[in-house]
Amino acid sequence: MSHLIALTGPRGAGKTTACQTLIAQARAANWAVAGLLSPAVVTDGLKTGIMAEDLQSGETRLLAQSAVNASESGDDAAYLRFGRWLFDRAVLDWGNAVLATAVPCDLLIVDELGPLELLHGSGWVNGLAWLRLGNYRQGVVVIRPELVAAAQKTLPIAQVIDLAGTMSPIQQAQVLWQGMG
């Protein structure tokens, strides 16, 4: 029986760090880990991009770059502008292909589902599909606080964990892992 947890918290709360800790613990326990991780690209203390990492192969690609820092190629068909970010459409497609082959697995991580997926039906739609179907032992989805209610309407979320608490993201992930194992 699958179980889906939503990790939430404000920007910089450590949602991806908590996922990285869970991934390490699951791999140490010989769990099959799949999905996508989206670590920030930080340059001179500022978030300038977002990577996408395939948790099965370890392959990474630049998912999004700050529109302020982006080199304007003039090829609008290649990028999806959303807020201050330019999302690479080819990497969104690649991420959907990664998610299409992610299950079955023991731990499915989707970092993160945001307005593209939850409000606009774009982005990593395969993440939504597989999280709904539950062909995993444990699922973890990262969601911004302002989108938790929308996610709960469409996903079978059993528990929401807010990382804005008193524990560090690593400590919170360790407690969460103890409940999973």
Q: Which of 35-44, 62-71, 129-138 has the lowest mean pLDDT?
A: 62-71
**Which tens digits make up the pLDDT trace of 62-77?**
999 988 755 555 456 7
Domains in the chain, start-ordered, CATH in brackets? 3-39+51-61+95-180 (3.40.50)
Instruction: Report which residue type is found at 17.
Output: T
Lowest model confidence (mean pLDDT) among 64-68, 86-90, 116-120: 64-68
Q: In the prediction, which pLDDT does 78 show?
A: 87
Angle at CA of residue 115, ends 102 and 47, nearest 5°: 85
Strand 60-66 with 40-43, pairing = unpaired
Percent share of the chain, pLDDT over 90: 64
Residue 169 has a pLDDT of: 87
Q: What share of the chain is helix, strand, coil (3-state, %, to 5)?
A: 35, 30, 35
> What is 87-140 written as a DSSP string?
EEHHHHHHHHHHHHT--SEEEEEE----HHHHTTS-SSHHHHHHHHHT-EEEEE
β-sheet bridge partners, residue 43: 46
Q: What is the pLDDT of residue 74?
A: 44
C-alpha span between 146 and 24 (Å, rounded): 28
What totals of helices (H) and strands (E) does the chain contain, helices first?
A: 6, 10
Cβ within 8 Å of residue 70, ≥6 positions away: 79, 86
Q: Considering the chain, what is the average pLDDT of its residues? A: 90
Residue 168's pLDDT is what?
A: 87
Q: What is the pLDDT of residue 179?
A: 84
pLDDT at 166 over 90: no
Total Cβ atoms within 10 A of residue 176:
20
pLDDT of residue 75: 53
Structure tokens at 132: 């709904």
Q: Residue 181 pLDDT > 80, yes or no?
A: no
Residue 119 has pLDDT above 50, yes or no: yes
